[in-house]
Chains A and B, each alone.
Chain A
Amino acid sequence: MPRLPDPRFATDCTVSVDGRAVPARKGESIASALVAAGRPLLSRSAKYHRPRGPFCLSGSCGSCLVRVDGEPNQRACRTPCQDGLRVETQNGWPDAERDVLGLIDPLTPHGLDVHHMLTRPLPLNRALVAFTRRLAGSGRMPDRPAPRGPEASTETFDALVLGSGPAGLAAAEELARSGRRVLLAEQDLLLGGRLRAGLEPGFAPGSWPADVSRAVAAHGGEVAVGTTAVGLWHDGGEPICLLVARSPARTRLVRASRILVCTGGDARPPVFEGCDLPGVFSGRALALALAEHGVVPGRRAAVLGTGPEAETIVERFRAAGMESVLVAQPPIRATGRSRVTSLGLADGSKIPCDTVAQGAPPAPSPDLLRALGVGVDWNPAFEAFSPRVADDGTTQVAGLFAAGEVARPVSAAAAAAWGRRAGEAARG
């Protein structure tokens, strides 16, 4: 059962993957359609040609790169499906599934010491350089020239809010209601961020995103969905944000005297032998794909974690007809050829599964804040680098604010409250 048999989740388009037709839903990501189709294997890895598939499904990891309509190295999780889209798996011969070079992995059980291998004699070293060059690189050069992107617009707003999860929504709402002209940018096509997965009972988004949109619009602001903040720079001595939308294609340079970074955390891959196998996913991302597109990722799931979020994910999977168990102890190894087939635990037990869902909260994501000079510290409590953001959302950089999981793990309700405080602080 690749998708819940609910008419809401009926497929309505077809994409081609290595020449084979895959049914999909318009607007869902390629990665989501392939998980629903039971085909998470998208490429082979750089050195050992290990199987690779989507993990985070939210644009923060790098393991779902595919070739889309002749353009290499595109994130399958960021590319929405539409009829006739031509997707090719990468770095496998003849394809990622049957890849002959997949033999490199079992033949190198202790890995390769690339810096010191085969350095002499000279002819052998030359052969090594030529051979590894053939092996290297994942995407093929585009077949044909692509048109230049659209001319960029340069715009100024009172406030730029990046991300529309609970923190971003609350911040944008606070700023709009105080009369500020706000640009709220969301990389997905829908507002709500983590709220869309509905993993925190008692905190359903309801009409909140729509209310915020109205409030933003009422004060001359704008809500831009499908718009990724590619980065923050400082050209001209002031922060400048490059925002890129795919469809319709639009490139915007935005300056604002207040920038609020509420982009959420980065899904955190678990660490054990075989943790990189296709079939190991961010649990929150799977819950979202299930809620919005009825994607049932497999038959048997092992959900890693101890918190309420992991428990809720187990329940969701069960409600969708999957066998699902909560795994509280750290796994030792995942096994499987092109997809995980079982998970071994420290106590010697083995859980047969085709899906492993990381139920631990995402790690803070400091990159955008660091660009403008915010410091980070190692936080031993959640074993991650965490940007210095105060409880009122301020940072050490004037005009730069943050709230929510971008800064540290917090509940959705706490993120919303934090976002509101950040909005108040930025209101000035």
Chain B
Amino acid sequence: MGKTVLCACEDVTLSEVRRAFARGHRDLESVKRYTGFGTGPCQGRSCQNAVVQELLRLGATPAEITPFTSRPPAHPVTFGTLAALDPSALPLDEGIPLPVLPPPPGPSPSGPLPERADVVIVGGGILGLSLAYELGRRGVRDVVVLERSYLNSGASGRNGGGVRAQWSTPTMVRLGLRSLQLFARFAGETGVNVWFRRGGYLFLAPDAAQVARLERNRAIQAAQGMRTRILSPAQACEVVPELDRSRFVAASWNPDDGVVFPWPFQWGYAAGAERNGATVRTFTPVTGLEISGGLVRSVKTPAGRIRCDTVVNACGAWSPEVARLAGVALPNRPTRHEILVSGPLKPWLGPLVSLLGTGLYFSQSQRGEIVGGMGDPAEPAGIAHGATLRFLARFSRALTDLVPAAAGIPVMRQWAGNYDVTPDNNPILGPAGPANFFQLSGFVGHGFMMAPAVAELMADWMTGREKDEIFDRFGFDRFARGTAVGEDFIIG
């Protein structure tokens, strides 16, 4: 036999836990993500204590064994059962788990900080890490990335992993296509698997207005060589036979879009950036920015101060908070977005499917889970990470209407992340306030898929190479100039 299996759901062995710890994944949230323990049907009920016993033997601190956030439902329940709940009888609230009072002390900063750096990047999500990686490749080695929590704690670790080039403007199509290229070669380049699979994106249009929108987008996409086609319901059902074809009148299909497993990107980019000379520090929040003469001079953290030439704000939903430290008022409005996974199924669903006008989208992960979300028009602005029963009811209704066979599948886990929403649904890139205070935020739920391409362009610009037109188009000053152009193909 040979193996000591701690997590029977996901086949996680004692030696895999030891390997994760040795690689620096020391806290329970990180060990969970790196090994996969506790992500199966029992959700850690059978294995979390055994993993903690081993981590303590390995030398984990009490703060590092804070239990991972428990995820509802406590027991699997089928989409069909949840679809019977009336969402309108379930008013939105902050969701669960409710905060614990007093909160347990978190892990301390993961290592000493350098006293100075050329570039300090605030935010260890995919945007910040990919920028650190690309800067390193261009010879800027003196880079520090500061992450307030564990890697994958924010939206980069909470999204559904969809990556597409089916957008509505030439700029976004170009960025999407470039990102897809970079996603495809990420594993080979960084040595970390991300399970990129070109299963396509299938957008379903329920009415004539949505069909017109898809037709318009298709023309823009075709101009850049994309293979997007408009399909009849019967043709769409050849791609996904389980769809109820009475629910839509046409579909837009690009077989070259795809899905990835989001977590390893953070590990791959962080390790790659460190190989290129950068320093990545977790559990290190930024508490202040020292400004004089119109420039940010240093970044303050509980672990010390870093003098620097340039600061990049890549904090996603937290970007306005960090910008405020420099006296800059960003217009970003973080908004919760809920998501769930089912138990793992054998492959049946190739593409990511989205039903326009409803916010519903779903795909099948590499592990076989149905991963899906659905935006809620009633959701107020504000950072929130709680999960609601209302979302389970809304999603399950919409999914089982569109895919009736899904009714018998149990839901395993739900959680939430935050979209970083801007007034025109486009990102905010480049300086704001102090001349060396760069923004890399406002991606409205699509930062993950845009990050590789945008990081390349941003690193080019920051190292004195070509300045792409996106930095004019998506500059902070567009709101003052009144030149904002809205992106209308936001999903979820």
A binding-site residues for B, Cβ under 8 Å: 45-48, 50, 52, 55-56, 59-63, 65, 70-75, 105-106, 109-111, 113-122, 125, 128-130, 132-134, 136-152, 154, 228-237, 240, 242, 244, 251, 253, 266-269, 271-277, 333-335, 363, 365-368, 370-376, 378, 383-385, 396-397
The stretch that binds A, out of B92-100, B200-208, B449-457, is: B92-100
State the majority secondary structure of interface residues on A. Answer: loop
CA distance A129 to B264 in the complex (A): 14
Q: Mark B49-75, 1 if CB is under 8 A from A, else 0.
A: 110110000000010010100101111
A385 engages B405 (CB within 8 Å): no
Q: How far is the CB of A281 from chain B (nearest CB, A)?
A: 13
Q: How far is the CB of B476 from chain A (nearest CB, A)?
A: 37
Q: How far is the CB of A123 from chain B (nearest CB, A)?
A: 10
Closest residue of A by beta carbon distance from B92: A235
Say which residue of A60, A149, A384, A396 sits within 8 Å of B49 (CB atoms): A384
Say which residue of A151, A372, A396 sits within 8 Å of B96 (CB atoms): A372
14 residue pairs from A and B, CB less than 8 Å apart? A63-B9, A71-B409, A73-B343, A120-B188, A141-B405, A146-B80, A147-B407, A148-B400, A149-B83, A151-B84, A228-B75, A229-B75, A231-B74, A244-B81
Q: Mark B206-250, 1 if CB is under 8 A from A, else 0.
A: 000000000000000000000000000000000000100000000
B197 engages A133 (CB within 8 Å): yes
Q: Mark B17-61, 1 if CB is under 8 A from A, else 0.
A: 001000000000000001000001111011111101100000000
Say which residue of A134, A139, A365 sits within 8 Å of B344 (CB atoms): A139
CA distance A122 to B196 in the complex (A): 11
10 other contacts beyond A137-B346, A138-B368, with CB at 8 A cut-off? A46-B11, A121-B188, A125-B187, A136-B367, A146-B407, A235-B93, A236-B93, A271-B14, A370-B70, A378-B62
A367 engages B8 (CB within 8 Å): no
B8 engages A45 (CB within 8 Å): yes
CA distance A134 to B74 in the complex (A): 29
B52 engages A385 (CB within 8 Å): yes
CA distance A272 to B73 in the complex (A): 30
Does B78 sit within 8 A of A, measured CB to CB? yes
B187 engages A120 (CB within 8 Å): yes
B80 engages A59 (CB within 8 Å): no
Write out the residue numbers on chain A whose beta carbons fall within 8 Å of the beta carbon of B84.
148-152, 251
Does B101 sit within 8 A of A, measured CB to CB? yes
Interface residues on B, range: 35 or more
Per CB-CB distance, the 5 closest pairs between chain A and chain B, nearest first, are A137-B368, A62-B41, A145-B404, A373-B98, A62-B42
Does B460 sit within 8 A of A, measured CB to CB? no
A273 engages B3 (CB within 8 Å): yes
B346 engages A140 (CB within 8 Å): yes
Write out the residue numbers on chain A whose beta carbons fall within 8 Å of the beta carbon of B408.
70-72, 142, 146
Write out the residue numbers on chain B whose beta carbons fall within 8 Å of the beta carbon of A110.
2, 15
Say which residue of B45, B77, B86, B91 sits within 8 Å of A244 (CB atoms): B77
A73 engages B97 (CB within 8 Å): no
CA distance A370 to B101 in the complex (A): 11
Write out the residue numbers on chain A whose beta carbons fall within 8 Å of the beta carbon of B11.
45-48, 50
CB under 8 Å from chain A, chain B span 397-413: 400, 404-410
Q: How far is the CB of A231 from chain B (nearest CB, A)?
A: 4
B72 engages A133 (CB within 8 Å): no
Write out the residue numbers on chain B whose beta carbons fall within 8 Å of the beta carbon of A397.
98
Q: How far is the CB of B304 from chain A (nearest CB, A)?
A: 30
Closest residue of B by beta carbon distance from A125: B187
Does B467 sit within 8 A of A, measured CB to CB? no
Write out the residue numbers on chain A whose beta carbons fall within 8 Å of the beta carbon of B434.
none
A105 engages B389 (CB within 8 Å): no
Say which residue of B90, B93, B407 sits within 8 Å of A148 (CB atoms): B407
Say which residue of B46, B184, B406 sits within 8 Å of A266 (CB atoms): B46
Known: A136-B367, A145-B404, A373-B100. A235 touches B390 (CB 8 A): yes
B81 engages A149 (CB within 8 Å): yes
CA distance A365 to B104 in the complex (A): 19
Does B118 sit within 8 A of A, measured CB to CB? no
Say which residue of B13, B191, B345, B367 sits within 8 Å of A140 (CB atoms): B345
Say which residue of A129, A271, A372 sits within 8 Å of B366 (CB atoms): A129
Write out the residue numbers on chain B whose beta carbons fall within 8 Å of the beta carbon of A228.
75
Say which residue of B15, B76, B188, B386 sits within 8 Å of A125 (CB atoms): B188
Q: How far is the CB of B405 from chain A (nearest CB, A)?
A: 5
CA distance A43 to B424 in the complex (A): 50
Q: Which of A55, A72, A372 has the most CB of B within 10 A?
A: A72
Write out the residue numbers on chain B whose beta carbons fall within 8 Å of the beta carbon of A151.
84, 86
A62 engages B8 (CB within 8 Å): yes
CA distance A370 to B71 in the complex (A): 9
Closest residue of A by beta carbon distance from B41: A62
A50 engages B3 (CB within 8 Å): yes
Does B275 sit within 8 A of A, measured CB to CB? no
